Structures are given as C-alpha cells and as structure tokens.
C-alpha cells in the first residue's frame, strides 16, 4: 500500500467488539475493573482486531533503525557507529530487547531504514532510504519524498506481519541522536518550548544538555516546520526511524493490527501518525511512561494510559517486551476465568 492508500484504509475501532469485550469483563468473576489498565488494553485489542475473541499468541517487536546527521552537533555521548553495532546484535538476537522478548515469547524484527553503513547486516531487514539524515541545524533532515518513502517502508512491514499471522505488534527504535530528533518533533507537535520536552537521552553533561536544547531551538527556528503537517515536521527536524514508525502505526491501523508503543521516541512517531491519520489512535497501546521529560506529555496528547511506571528509558522496544507478559496474563483471565453465573454468585454492578 502507498501511504495514501493506507490512510484511507484505516477505520476507527470496531465499536461492537469494544462493547462485547467490556460486557465480557463485567461477567468475569472478580471485582469490576480490578485489573485496571490491563482490562482497558484487552478491550482496545478487541476494538483494533475487530473481535471480542482475543488472540495475542503471535507477537513481534519491530525496531526501526536509522542514523541522524544532527549528531555532528555534539548532542550525543556516542557516535553513529553504535547504531549499526546494536542493530547487528538485534539481528543475532542478543540485544536488550531480544533477551527480554525471548522471555515474553515475541520475535524481534530489526529494520534498516537509514543506517549510515554500507551493506546488509545479517538478521536486519533492508529497507534503507538513505545513509542517515542530514544535520537539521544546517538543512532539512530529509526531503518530503524520503520521509514518505520511510513511512511506506513501515507500512510494508505492518502488512508483512499481518500476512504472517501476527496478532499483536510492538515497536521500538535504534538510532544514535534520536532523542534529539524526537524532542524536536514533540516540541513542534505539542507546541512546547524545547526545554520542556528535552532530556539528557543516553547521558549528557550539563553543558551538553544545554547544547542539545539550543540545537533543537535553532533548528526549529531555521526550518519553521508546520505543526499542522506532521510529514513536514518529520522531514525537517525528524528522522528516518521516526518516519518509518509513523508509517508502521498507520499500516497497523490499515490491516487491523493492535500495536504497543515503547517510550518517548515511539511516542513522538505515534503522535505524528495520529496527526496524519487520527483513527490510528484506536490501534495504539502504551507500555510505560518514559523517564524522559516529555514521556507523560506525549501519552496525554495521545489519550493513552500506560500499564507500567518503572522509570524506563532504554528504548529498542523494551517497553513493549515488558508489557507483553502482562497482557498475556490479562488475556488468560479474560478468556478462562469463570463467570459469576457459572459460580452462582450475583454479578457486581457498576455504581454511579
């Protein structure tokens, strides 16, 4: 699907499935709403998948990998070469998210949409648009055409998951410098001063942190990205990983695949996706509140409730990996727990 085709294919949540799932939870023999956000997530999965019969037995975490030219400005502790190293470890199944996903029964699928390296990396899906982005303090990060190309790569990945029978997706990213690009995107989309949405990322000195905020402010002032046009925002101050994630979320909406976002960076991409195609919001689940300053802000803007608050900020899709076992537990209660009728106990009622 092209981006336009995918956008036009996205429908809101199936209201019938939502209502049936809510009604089913009310009949489960336990106090009402006692699993909190996990119950709400199961209902969201029903609405996204179009059925109150929940199946989340086949899960994958898609990790979009790309490099960012803005690292030239000293906004990171490490160099771009780390992106390919970590992606290679994902391909071999030995990165943080892979180890967590193995315990959660999920497959990790790393995708190269723009790493600054030559040749294919074993175990990493090649979807390279360019060898990283430009330095957005000097010129736009990428062209609009490149942004759309990255988004359509994400859509293809979503289509592939659906065709292979996956029924729950997670999402993550790997790209040195992408806390800078995501903070820039969020500054525009949330209409917030960069100082309010920018954190230290993987670790910066006080001076490095000030420089990071200044770089974001100056880049936004130079390019004046249009808040009403998220594709413009992504192309001017974003990254290929963010664009691919935004396309992935739109693609998940188009094929009816519920998808878990991770932290700040995936949240920025999700906010862009929802700005482009509002019904996509119905297909998103939040895993945790990122420890980054804008973590809570982006979830509030998306209208999502996280199930986990653990001070996480690792990225890679580790939030999705952490949430998957909790969703499995909620799903088994939803599916196998006796009803009030079956145990001959009067059903709880919602009190006003």
Domains of the chain and CATH, by start? 55-327 (3.40.50.10210)
CA dist list (Å): 11 to 6, 48, 127, 137, 342: 10, 9, 27, 38, 36
In this structure, what DSSP letter does residue 280 have?
G
Q: What is the pLDDT along the chain (352 residues), one digit of tens a residue?
A: 999 999 999 999 999 999 999 999 999 999 999 999 999 999 999 999 999 999 999 999 999 999 999 999 989 888 899 999 999 999 999 999 999 999 999 999 999 999 999 999 999 999 999 999 999 999 999 999 999 999 999 999 999 999 999 999 999 999 999 999 999 999 999 999 999 999 876 667 788 788 999 999 999 999 999 999 999 999 999 999 999 999 999 999 999 999 999 999 999 999 999 999 999 999 999 999 998 889 999 999 999 999 999 999 999 999 999 999 999 999 999 999 998 888 888 888 887 7
pLDDT of residue 11: 95
Q: Which residues are catalytic?
A: 316
Rg (CA), the chain: 20
pLDDT of residue 202: 67
pLDDT of residue 350: 83
Question: For tokens 């990983």, what's the residue?
Answer: 241
Q: What CA–CA distance (Å, rounded) separates 16 from 164?
A: 26
pLDDT of residue 305: 97
Q: Are 1 and 155 in contact (CB under 8 A)?
A: yes
Question: For tokens 């037995």, what's the residue?
Answer: 57
């Amino acid at each position: 699907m092209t981006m336009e085709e995918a956008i036009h294919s996205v429908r809101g949540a199936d209201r019938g499935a939502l209502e049936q799932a809510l009604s089913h939870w009310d009949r489960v023999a336990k106090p009402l709403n006692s699993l909190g956000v996990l119950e709400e997530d199961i209902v969201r999965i029903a609405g996204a998948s179009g059925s109150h019969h929940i199946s989340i037995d086949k899960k994958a975490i898609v990790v979009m990998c790309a490099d960012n030219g803005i690292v030239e400005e000293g906004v990171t502790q490490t160099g771009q070469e780390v992106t390919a190293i970590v992606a290679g470890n994902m391909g071999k199944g030995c990165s943080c998210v892979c180890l967590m996903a193995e315990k959660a029964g999920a497959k990790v699928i790393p995708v190269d949409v723009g790493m600054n390296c030559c040749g294919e990396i074993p175990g990493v899906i090649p979807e390279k648009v360019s060898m990283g982005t430009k330095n957005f303090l000097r010129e736009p990060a990428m062209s609009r055409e490149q942004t759309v190309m990255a988004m359509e790569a994400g859509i293809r990945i979503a289509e592939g998951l659906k065709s292979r029978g996956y029924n729950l997706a997670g999402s993550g990213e790997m790209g040195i410098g992408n806390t800078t690009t995501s903070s820039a995107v969020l500054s525009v989309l949330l209409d917030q001063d960069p100082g309010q949405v920018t954190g230290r990322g993987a670790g910066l000195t006080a001076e490095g942190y000030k420089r990071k905020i200044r770089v974001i402010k100056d880049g936004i002032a130079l390019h004046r990205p249009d808040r009403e046009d998220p594709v413009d925002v992504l192309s001017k101050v974003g990254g290929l990983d963010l664009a691919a994630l935004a396309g992935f979320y739109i693609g998940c909406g188009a094929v009816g695949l519920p998808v878990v976002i991770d932290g700040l960076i995936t949240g920025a991409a999700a906010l862009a996706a929802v700005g482009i195609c509002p019904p996509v919001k119905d297909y998103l689940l939040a895993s945790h509140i990122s420890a980054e300053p804008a973590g809570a802000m982006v979830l509030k803007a998306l209208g999502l409730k996280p199930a986990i608050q653990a001070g996480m900020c690792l990225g890679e899709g580790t939030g999705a990996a952490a949430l998957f076992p909790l969703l499995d537990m909620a799903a088994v209660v939803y599916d196998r727990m006796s009803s009030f009728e079956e145990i001959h106990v009067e059903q709880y009622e919602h009190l006003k």
